[in-house]
A and B are shown apart, each in its own frame.
Chain A
Amino acid sequence: MVIYLAPPTGSVSLTTIERLCMVRFEYLKYLTNVNSLEEFLEATSINFFVQNSDCLMEHNPSDKLSFFTLRLLSLQSPPLRTMVEAAERRLLHYRLRLMSLAELRYTLCRTSARADRLRGPLPPGDTRSLLDSLVSVTAAADRHLAEHGEETEGMAPSRSQLETCEEPVVRVPFALVAPLVASRSVTLSDGYALLLCRHTPAALSCLQEAALRVGQRQARPAVDGRLLPLLSRLTSRLGVVEGSGPAAPLSLSALEAATPLLPPCMLALRAELRHRHRLPHQDRVALSVFLKDVGLSLEDNVRFWEREYCQPAGHGATCSHSWSRCQKRYLYSLRHMYGLEGRRVAFESHSCRRLQERCGQSVSSCGGCPFVGFDAPSLTSLLTSEAGLEPAEVAALTTETGEEPTVRCRRYRSLLMRRMCGRGGAQGERMPRDDSVRRDGASAFPQTDNVRQDEASELPQVDGVRPYEASGLPLEDSVKRAEASGAEVGNLIASSDRGDICAKTGLRERIVDGAGCDSVPGSSRPPGTATLGNEEPTPFRKPSEFFCSLLSFRENQSTGVVIAGPKAENHHLK
């Protein structure tokens, strides 16, 4: 059954659980970069997933086991939870899309029957409400699909017929289909959302998510100690770091000098502040924590804001505070961000994803991601007058191409890097190539908060043989090849799969396994450093990482460090 409602029972070895979870985890991670049905289907040609497909096929006990175990483990790690929830949503979405009418009806019937059995003894409450809705949605959808079949005289209706059918099917409490409500895809009445036939797949996805959340709330908070190594491997694999790590100290004067290297989001806030000497609250917080994370001391951060707020508010400023009246409040707020007040936990700067999501949430805001929240004239103005780009460069960044905003921002960063290189067309080897993009332009990396994908390139080389051995991956050929070339085993351990996956998605990420990994001397780099050696420039997930990578790049340029091009990578595989 596609929507799992109750955990499996029985005995299974810990090794099997670990293997299944690692495979599912890798698959879900892969799915976070999938944006079309075609890309989803490409997974079937990736050897690693094919060989371990038992836990990736719906209705298979291994699929169910890995689903519930990952769900349980993800409770311990918010980034893992975010990734798992988003990816499971996608998995269900594509599974439903690929089903024939008969398969869809079978799934609906089974889900309905199962939910009906489970709800019987339950008292009124969230779980009962969810199961009631699941029964009513699946039963009603199945009845309606049966009618479709009758209308087409026994022939299966086409997917497009189902996807455009406006017939009402069932009403459910609005809270269970929150994504449909948020986008006003459904009509509401008296607290209920009216689902049409075409809403069925989306509604099932919402209900699965609701089931996931209910299950997470009911799960015991502590995880069995025997699963902790697995959890550790998963979070390590995800590249989770506790806090963003301190950047090198940066003085206020150095910050001012480096203003042209600011990411567009912070450049916009800086410009607004210079113009009106005030920022709306959320924008002020975003800029303050950014300054903290790029290395500004508390004292310099205070000085930065004092300089602006001591001046009268410019015309059009929505904030009427002044430094003289509100100094204490601002000082407390900044100290709080540095972990010196309140809970004594330093704030983390906002991720690109958060800034993108914030766009449009307040009419008085002047922040957020410019590639999302700025209209063309405003973006053009920012890139021209603040970033000093040429018209052709501006046009390249402002033309709508359907690219993800992070991808456009990476192109912007590449532009800045090329400028620092002196636009060296002749210095092709020196010019960085920001290829950490998918061939269709989408971001290569999952959008989860507090996850640093650049950590993937900073993770030590490992001899991550064990889990892949357990998975049955044929290693002998890879190992022999590695030994012959003299390269480290860890570098090649999944090179065949890595190459496979990279070829499909354009990913440049190394597949490393965090379990039992030993640090290889010289392989790790200080945080925030642009890895412009054999790899492409460090992908960034936060504006602070964007800025730090450019500072580091500029420093490398000024010290004359030769940066080899990405072609050098392939020599290991000879």
Chain B
Amino acid sequence: MCDENILTDLLPVYYSRLFPSDKFCKWLSYGGDVPNYLDRREMSFTLADDVYIRYQSFKDAEEFQQELKKKCPHKIDIGAVYNHKPKERNSVAVFQPQEKELVFDIDMTDYDDVRTCCSGADICHKCWKFMTIAIKCIDDTLRKDFGFHHLLWVYSGRRGVHCWVCDAAARRLSQQARGAVAEYLQLIKGGQNQAKKVSIGAQMHPMVERSVKTCRQYFRTVCLDEQDIFASTEQHTTLLKLIPDDATRKELATSFLKLKTSKDKWEELEGVFTRNLHSGKLSRSTSPRLLEEIILQYTYPRLDIEVTKGLNHLLKAPFCVHPKTGRVCVPMEARAADKFDPMAVPTVSQLESELNEALKNQEAPPADVSQPMLTSLKPAMQLFNKFLAGLDRERSTVNKKDDPMEW
């Protein structure tokens, strides 16, 4: 847990020396080709004592950094690019969002019913694997199906991850299209009053098939071995509620009582279901893909659709310090999601110590090395730079196509 007083002391140092304001603004202005793009971007600050200030906007990195040092927000959120400067919204008749990154927010608290190691805001290495599965499924679909290239995955600082899809086409998507992307990805539907939340039909959509393949790779290790998610009677009763066929359910209810581990119960379920399926004994209400549906329900990403759909929804900015943990919201590599360790993410106090140590040992830092690069933020900064370079490359490709002199 991070003490708010420590945060108040350290944030001024963090914003002065470590927060990459220039690269942050370079990202949000996307090369500066569109006039006033950054200036029309809404940001919000949450100050100490939960004071929330919306409709902040800045014309450049310098103004942004000045404001950061002055206000030392405990949290920064990024919103949409509007048709006019948010700060001057009251002076125009129409104030509407025009563009925004397509965003996804995955939160570990939504997995409480499928994890036994932790609950609520707590996480550990075991349940973090659900985030790994989520990143792989979503990253794959966004790239292969939707053709997006510029995805920035960010650790939220405590118990989840965010994905920012920054392609120009994504930023211009309408609310309807964003909703369509979210619903395409959403396989788990249903709240607390819906036991069975996945229904994929007899013929699997290619995206579903790909997701099942990814989830299946982790199901045994994560759910059966590490979480042992069907171990107790209450837990296996929850599993049984997902089986529409009465006869199969009753048979398993009896046999589960004799079994102890989740692995054994799952194998029993597989055996009984497969046997009944092949012999044609299953009721019509039972999908032949029930096993895949169960695997998805226990492992597939759980999305908050409202975050993705809304053009006026704000999301926490990368490189913020999480007020509860003190950890920095660092970018992460989707392809290396298996190796990401949320417990190893640097905290603001750790970074401050590292920076002081690094500067103590040098008379002056090398000119071409920024201060974050002297700390544990270096890998995150390198990743962010790589991401920005990708955006630059896309822009130069587009500009070349438009250049009438190109030959």
Chain A bound to chain B: yes
Where the two chains meet, the residues of A that have a C-beta atom closer than 8 Å to any C-beta of B are 126, 174-175, 178-179, 181-184, 187-192, 213, 221, 268, 272, 282, 316, 318, 320, 328-329, 359-368, 370, 373-375, 377-379, 382
Q: In the complex, what residues of B have CB within 8 A of residue A367's CB? A: 191
A213 touching B174, Cβ below 8 Å:
yes
Select from chain B the residue with minimum beta-carbon distance to A191. B147
Within 8 A of A (CB), among B262-319: 302, 304-306
B193 touching A187, Cβ below 8 Å:
no
A370 to B190, CA, bound (A): 11
A363 touching B197, Cβ below 8 Å:
yes
| Centre residue among A192, A362, A367 by max chain B CB count within 10 A | A362
- A534 → chain B closest CB, angstroms: 39
A318 touching B191, Cβ below 8 Å:
no
Choose from A178, A188, A272, A378 the contact partner of B194 (Cβ within 8 Å): A378
Choose from B169, B191, B206 the contact partner of A362 (Cβ within 8 Å): B191
- B405 → chain A closest CB, angstroms: 18
B191 touching A181, Cβ below 8 Å:
no
Number of interface residues of B (CB under 8 A): 45
A181 to B302, CA, bound (A): 19
Contact of A362 with B180 at beta-carbon distance under 8 Å, contacts A188-B146, A189-B145, A373-B190 already known: no
A282 to B179, CA, bound (A): 17
B144 within 8 A of partner (CB): yes
Q: In the complex, what residues of B have CB within 8 A of residue A362's CB? A: 110, 191, 304-306
Select from chain B the residue with minimum beta-carbon distance to A126. B172
B189 touching A190, Cβ below 8 Å:
no
| 23 chain-A/chain-B pairs, Cβ below 8 angstroms | A175-B169, A175-B174, A175-B180, A181-B180, A181-B181, A181-B183, A183-B183, A187-B207, A190-B145, A190-B147, A191-B145, A318-B109, A318-B112, A328-B50, A361-B189, A362-B191, A362-B305, A363-B188, A363-B192, A368-B191, A373-B191, A373-B194, A379-B193
Contact of A364 with B110 at beta-carbon distance under 8 Å, contacts A183-B183, A375-B195 already known: yes
Select from chain A the residue with minimum beta-carbon distance to B190. A360
- B25 → chain A closest CB, angstroms: 27
B191 touching A184, Cβ below 8 Å:
no
Beyond contacts A362-B306, A366-B193: 10 other A-B pairs, Cβ-Cβ < 8 A, are A175-B173, A190-B145, A191-B145, A213-B176, A318-B112, A328-B49, A362-B110, A364-B110, A366-B191, A379-B193
A141 to B186, CA, bound (A): 30
Q: In the complex, what residues of B have CB within 8 A of residue A374's CB? A: 193-194
A497 to B113, CA, bound (A): 56
A364 to B111, CA, bound (A): 9
A349 to B192, CA, bound (A): 22
- B54 → chain A closest CB, angstroms: 8
Contact with A along B87-99 (1 / 0, CB 8 A): 0000000100000
Q: In the complex, what residues of B have CB within 8 A of residue A175's CB? A: 169, 173-174, 177, 180
A282 to B49, CA, bound (A): 23
Q: In the complex, what residues of A have CB within 8 A of residue B173's CB? A: 175
Q: In the complex, what residues of A have CB within 8 A of residue B179's CB? A: 178, 182
Select from chain B the residue with minimum beta-carbon distance to A342. B54
B193 touching A375, Cβ below 8 Å:
yes
A187 touching B194, Cβ below 8 Å:
no
Select from chain A the residue with minimum beta-carbon distance to B51. A328
Q: In the complex, what residues of A have CB within 8 A of residue B177's CB? A: 174-175, 178
B180 touching A182, Cβ below 8 Å:
yes
Q: In the complex, what residues of B have CB within 8 A of residue A190's CB? A: 144-145, 147
B110 touching A184, Cβ below 8 Å:
no
B196 within 8 A of partner (CB): yes
Q: In the complex, what residues of B have CB within 8 A of residue A183's CB? A: 183
A189 touching B110, Cβ below 8 Å:
no
A366 touching B192, Cβ below 8 Å:
yes
B174 touching A320, Cβ below 8 Å:
no
A362 to B173, CA, bound (A): 22
A188 touching B191, Cβ below 8 Å:
no
Q: In the complex, what residues of B have CB within 8 A of residue A365's CB? A: 191-192
Select from chain B the residue with minimum beta-carbon distance to A179. B180
A288 to B194, CA, bound (A): 23
| Centre residue among A361, A370, A377, A378 by max chain B CB count within 10 A | A361
Choose from A174, A187, A377 the contact partner of B205 (Cβ within 8 Å): A187
B50 touching A188, Cβ below 8 Å:
no
A190 to B144, CA, bound (A): 5
A368 to B190, CA, bound (A): 10
Q: In the complex, what residues of A have CB within 8 A of residue B306's CB? A: 282, 361-362
B110 touching A363, Cβ below 8 Å:
yes
Q: In the complex, what residues of B have CB within 8 A of residue A192's CB? A: 147
Select from chain B the residue with minimum beta-carbon distance to A370. B193
A320 to B180, CA, bound (A): 31
Select from chain B the residue with minimum beta-carbon distance to A375. B194
A190 to B167, CA, bound (A): 13
A174 touching B193, Cβ below 8 Å:
no
A373 to B194, CA, bound (A): 7
A379 to B191, CA, bound (A): 13
Contact of A363 with B190 at beta-carbon distance under 8 Å, contacts A182-B184, A184-B205, A184-B208 already known: yes
- B321 → chain A closest CB, angstroms: 19
A178 touching B169, Cβ below 8 Å:
no
Select from chain A the residue with minimum beta-carbon distance to B302. A363
Q: In the complex, what residues of A have CB within 8 A of residue B145's CB? A: 188-191
Within 8 A of A (CB), among B121-148: 121, 144-148
B189 touching A360, Cβ below 8 Å:
yes
Q: In the complex, what residues of B have CB within 8 A of residue A366's CB? A: 191-193
A174 touching B180, Cβ below 8 Å:
yes
A318 to B302, CA, bound (A): 14
